[in-house]
């Protein structure tokens, strides 16, 4: 605990000193650190690979002469302000070193890609809601973007399901590793820290973003006739009071979590996931505490039984969170199995450096084809249109829609069964197929993962302020006729909207999200006792 206190205090000072630092870059903490050492790994925080970044700052804008460079050199405050508000990819770190990817780094990329797909989904609601309908559900719905597999790029329900599975996986990753190593004192410390910090980690960034949503509401940026416009009051003080009320509602840990037809956040309906995320997190921590001293086979049996129970009785979101816990435990089982195999046995592992070339030749295509087929099947089912948008009449999904169990035959809930199952299938598949993980370990996917929470929090406000007002103007320029003109207007809107959204998300990820994580950790260390 003393080491953790010193490390956190140092990290917090580094982050707090950002106001006087000239240049920054994000360094993702290496996950290759042995968990038995004194070094901190991202497992020391509950959100593995999400905002487990440390912000490092170095001096040095370009040393070339010129008015602008000389001005910045004489005005460190202006330089600090400029750097803070510029995207991180505009000034990569000097002498950048690349860390070896950990076996779970792909989760960060998957979360980032899913966040981008959610942005596409809500963009389609703004610009072209007709693509929500399944391909062939009516004679008019035969667009390319409505086809199975293709429609995954704007399937919001599947992406939110992936968020919850990844959360279950990442939140349980460290405690399960400690449990498997029988380090029970550290298990208690880890779970205590996670429970204490979780609400702060979720609410502080959301409160900051919704504050600016409140300002946008007050000044009238939502325009007229906007279905997503929050309540607008005559005075700034009244709007601030309403924002305080919205944050209190969002952070309320005692309100029953019922979605849909339950709580609807005031400033952005997309934030319904925040209380669901908190509720799922608490269930995960309680379940891990109860199973900490249980034998591994019994724990796996309990987790599997719990997952099936939640699936059968349509506790849909808890099904996703606990499925993530089960997948994390199975991941540890596979990793330990691979480490304990003999050199001769390891020759049969595809991709092992000791693998027999002849064996690789015979097995490679077959194994990859098996997992690729599972991957495509999962995407096909996950891209299923919602029941109100023609799933029962859309070719490829008619049979699936008729097989929805009785417990799911209610509005909205009926859409969860197949899509949520497919999301679990997708994460399970990628976790077992390293060649598929490469999709989510690219630099772009990892960058999306770093800004994913900020991107999710911001995109609703962006779409229904700037997007809502800009899109009609673009249609006035391109023409509003269905077809090319309509699509071109949407494309031009995206060319303006998306760069600004990414820019602001990058800034919020660094200045709000990372600092919220650091503050929650710092506060926990300050108020906790040594054990």
- Cβ-based neighbour number of residue 274 at 10 Å: 21
Domain membership of residue 95 (yes or no) is: no
Task: Tell me the three state secondary structure of residue 182.
Answer: coil
Judge if 81 and 120 occupy the same domain.
Answer: no
Does 375 reside within a domain?
Answer: yes
367 and 428 in a single domain? The answer is yes
- Looking up tokens 């999306």 gives 448
Identify whether 99 is part of a domain. no
Please report whether residue 277 resides in a domain.
yes
In a domain, 145, yes or no: yes
| Contact between 455 and 505 (Cβ < 8 Å) | yes
Q: 59, 90, 121: which is the final residue of a domain?
A: 90
Cα distance between residue 270 and residue 456, in whole Å: 8
Shared domain for 197 and 162, answered yes or no, is yes
> Is there a domain that residue 98 lies in?
no
Helices (H), 181-258: 184-219, 236-251
**31 and 151 within one domain:** no
Q: Examine the domain organization and report whether 198 and 57 are in the same domain.
A: no
Total domain count, the chain: 2
Q: Which of 57, 90, 123 is the last residue of a domain?
A: 90
Domain of residue 354: give its range: 105-527
137 and 38 together in one domain: no
Residue 100 falls within a domain, yes or no? Answer: no
Same domain, 511 and 479: yes
Do 473 and 408 lie in one domain? The reply is yes
Q: Are 265 and 248 in contact (CB under 8 A)?
A: no
Backbone torsions φ then ψ of 208, nearest 5 degrees: -65, -45
At which of 90, 121, 137 does a domain end?
Answer: 90
* Co-location of 464 and 323 in the same domain: yes
User: 118 and 58 in one domain?
Assistant: no
pLDDT in tens, the chain (531 residues): 554 545 444 544 444 444 333 333 333 333 333 333 333 333 344 343 343 343 333 333 444 446 656 666 677 776 676 767 777 776 666 555 556 667 788 999 999 999 999 999 999 888 888 899 999 999 889 989 999 999 999 999 999 999 999 999 999 999 999 999 999 999 999 999 999 999 999 999 999 999 999 999 999 888 777 788 899 999 999 999 999 999 999 999 888 776 656 778 999 999 999 999 999 999 999 999 999 999 999 999 999 999 999 999 999 999 999 999 999 999 999 988 888 765 555 555 544 555 556 656 667 788 899 999 999 999 999 999 999 999 999 999 999 999 999 999 888 889 999 999 999 999 999 999 999 999 999 999 999 999 999 999 999 999 999 988 888 888 888 887 777 788 888 889 989 999 999 999 999 999 999 999 999 999 999 998 876
Do 60 and 188 lie in one domain? The reply is: no
- Same domain, yes or no: 369 and 496: yes
For residue 27, list its beta bridge partners.
Answer: 54
Residue 462's closest CA among 415, 419, 494? 494
């Amino acid at each position: 605990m003393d080491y953790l206190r010193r490390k956190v205090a140092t990290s917090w000072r580094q982050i707090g000193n950002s106001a006087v630092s000239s240049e920054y870059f994000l360094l993702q903490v290496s996950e290759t650190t042995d968990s038995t050492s004194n070094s901190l790994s991202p497992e020391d925080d509950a959100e593995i690979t999400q905002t487990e970044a440390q912000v490092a700052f170095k001096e040095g804008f370009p040393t070339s002469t010129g008015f602008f460079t000389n001005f910045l050199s004489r005005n460190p405050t202006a330089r600090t302000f400029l750097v803070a508000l510029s995207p991180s990819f505009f000034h990569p770190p000097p002498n950048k070193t690349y860390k070896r990817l950990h076996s779970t780094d792909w989760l960060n990329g998957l979360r980032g890609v899913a966040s981008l797909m959610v942005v596409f989904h809500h963009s389609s609601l703004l610009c072209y809601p007709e693509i929500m309908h399944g391909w062939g559900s009516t004679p008019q719905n035969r667009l390319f973007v409505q086809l199975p597999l293709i429609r995954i790029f704007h399937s919001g329900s599947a992406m939110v399901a992936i968020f919850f599975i990844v959360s279950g996986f990442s939140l349980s990753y460290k405690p399960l590793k400690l449990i498997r190593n029988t380090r029970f004192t550290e298990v208690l410390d880890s779970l205590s820290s996670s429970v204490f910090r979780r609400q702060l980690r979720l609410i502080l960034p959301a409160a900051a973003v919704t504050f600016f949503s409140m300002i946008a509401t007050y000044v009238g940026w939502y325009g007229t006739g906007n279905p997503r416009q929050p309540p607008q009051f005559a005075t700034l003080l009244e709007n601030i009071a309403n924002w305080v009320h919205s944050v209190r509602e969002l952070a309320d840990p005692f309100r029953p979590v019922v979605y849909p037809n339950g709580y609807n956040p005031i400033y952005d309906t997309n934030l319904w996931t925040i209380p669901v995320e908190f509720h799922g997190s608490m269930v995960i921590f309680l379940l891990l505490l109860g199973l900490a001293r249980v034998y591994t086979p019994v724990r796996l049996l309990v987790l599997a039984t719990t997952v099936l129970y939640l699936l059968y009785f349509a506790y849909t979101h808890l099904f996703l969170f606990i499925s993530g816990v089960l997948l994390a435990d199975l991941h540890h089982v596979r990793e330990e199995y691979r480490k304990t195999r003999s050199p001769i046995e390891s020759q049969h592992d595809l991709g092992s450096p000791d693998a027999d070339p002849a064996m690789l030749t015979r097995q490679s295509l077959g194994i990859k084809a098996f997992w690729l087929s599972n991957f495509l099947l999962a995407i096909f089912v996950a891209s299923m249109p919602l029941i109100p948008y023609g799933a029962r009449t859309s070719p490829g999904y008619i049979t699936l829609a008729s097989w929805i169990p009785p417990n799911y035959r209610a509005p909205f809930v009926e859409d969860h069964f197949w899509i949520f199952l497919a999301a679990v299938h997708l994460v399970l598949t990628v976790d077992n197929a390293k060649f598929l993980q490469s999709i989510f370990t690219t630099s772009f996917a990892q960058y999306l993962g770093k800004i994913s929470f900020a991107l999710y929090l911001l995109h609703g406000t962006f779409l229904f302020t700037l997007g809502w007002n800009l899109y009609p103007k673009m249609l006035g320029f391109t023409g509003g006729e269905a077809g090319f003109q309509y699509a071109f207007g949407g494309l031009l809107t995206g060319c303006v909207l998306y760069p600004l959204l990414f820019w602001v998300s990058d800034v919020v990820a660094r200045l709000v999200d990372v600092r919220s994580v650091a503050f929650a950790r710092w506060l926990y260390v300050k108020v906790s006792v040594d054990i």
